[in-house]
Amino acid sequence: MENTENTLSFKDTQTAFASKDDKALKKAYWLFKMVSRPWLVKIAKHATDIALKLHLPIEGLVKKTIFSQFVGGETAQEADDNTDDLADYGIGTILDFSVEGKEDEEGFDRSLKEILKTVDISAQTVNVPFCVFKPSGVGPFGLWVKASAGLELNAKEMIQWKATLARIDSIAERAEAKGTPILIDAEETWMQDGADQMVELLMTRHNTKQAIIYHTLQMYRHDRLAYLKRLHERAEREGWILAVKLVRGAYMEKERDRAEERGYPDPIQKDKASTDRDFNAALEFCISHLDRIHFMCGTHNEDSSMRLVDLMHEKKIAPEDKRIYFAQLYGMSDHISYNLAASGYNVAKYVPYGPVREVMPYLIRRAQENTSAAGQTGRELSLIMQEMKRRKGN
CATH number at residue 341: 3.20.20.220
The whole domain housing 223 covers 74-363
Least confident segment among 163-172, 214-223, 294-303, 385-394: 385-394
pLDDT of residue 70: 86
* Nearest-angstrom CA–CA distance, 15 and 173: 39
pLDDT of residue 356: 80
pLDDT of residue 101: 62
The runs of H, that is alpha helices, within 150-241 are 155-178, 189-206, 224-238
Please tell me whether residue 231 adopts helix, strand or coil conformation.
helix
- Angle 360-372/22-35 helices, nearest 10 degrees? 80
pLDDT of residue 3: 42
- 242-247 and 130-133: which strand pairing? unpaired
With CA atoms as reference, report the closest residue to 141 among 267, 260, 254.
254
pLDDT of residue 315: 96
Q: Is 113 contained in some domain?
A: yes
- 238-247 mean pLDDT: 98
Q: Is 104 contained in some domain?
A: yes
Bridge partners of 94, per DSSP, are: 130, 350
pLDDT of residue 374: 45
Q: Phi-psi region for residue 292, left (φ > 0), alpha (ψ -120 to 50) or beta? A: alpha
Least confident segment among 28-42, 167-181, 207-221: 28-42
pLDDT of residue 36: 62
Q: Is 379 contained in some domain?
A: no
Higher-pLDDT residue of 371 and 150 is: 150
Q: Is 62 contained in some domain?
A: no
Q: How confident is the model at residue 62 (pLDDT cuts 50, 70, 90)?
A: low
CB atoms within 10 A of CB 298: 25
Q: How confident is the model at residue 362 (pLDDT cuts 50, 70, 90)?
A: confident
Least confident segment among 40-44, 90-94, 172-176, 266-270: 40-44
Q: Is 152 contained in some domain?
A: yes
Q: Is 250 contained in some domain?
A: yes
* Nearest-angstrom CA–CA distance, 57 and 51: 8
* Nearest-angstrom CA–CA distance, 65 and 72: 12
pLDDT of residue 34: 73
Please tell me whether residue 370 adopts helix, strand or coil conformation.
helix
pLDDT of residue 85: 87
What's the number of domains the chain is made of?
A: 1
Q: How confident is the model at residue 97 (pLDDT cuts 50, 70, 90)?
A: very high
* Nearest-angstrom CA–CA distance, 102 and 258: 23
Least confident segment among 7-21, 153-167, 373-387: 373-387
pLDDT of residue 84: 87
At residue 47, does pLDDT exceed 70? no
- 46-67 mean pLDDT: 61
With CA atoms as reference, report the closest residue to 350 among 293, 298, 280, 294.
298
pLDDT of residue 366: 62
Q: Is 160 contained in some domain?
A: yes
pLDDT of residue 56: 53
- 76-85 mean pLDDT: 87
HSE value, Cβ hemisphere, 13 Å, CA-based, for 362: 26
CA 95, chain centre distance (Å)? 10
CB distance 327 to 347 below 8 Å = yes
- 319-337 mean pLDDT: 96
- Look over the chain and give the mean of its residue pLDDT values, rounded to a whole number: 89
Q: Is 12 contained in some domain?
A: no
pLDDT of residue 224: 98
Please tell me whether residue 269 adopts helix, strand or coil conformation.
coil
DSSP per-residue letters across 2-47: --------TT-HHHHTTT--HHHHHHHHHHHHHHT-HHHHHHHHHH
Burial of 64 (0-12, 13-18, 19+ CB in 10 A): exposed
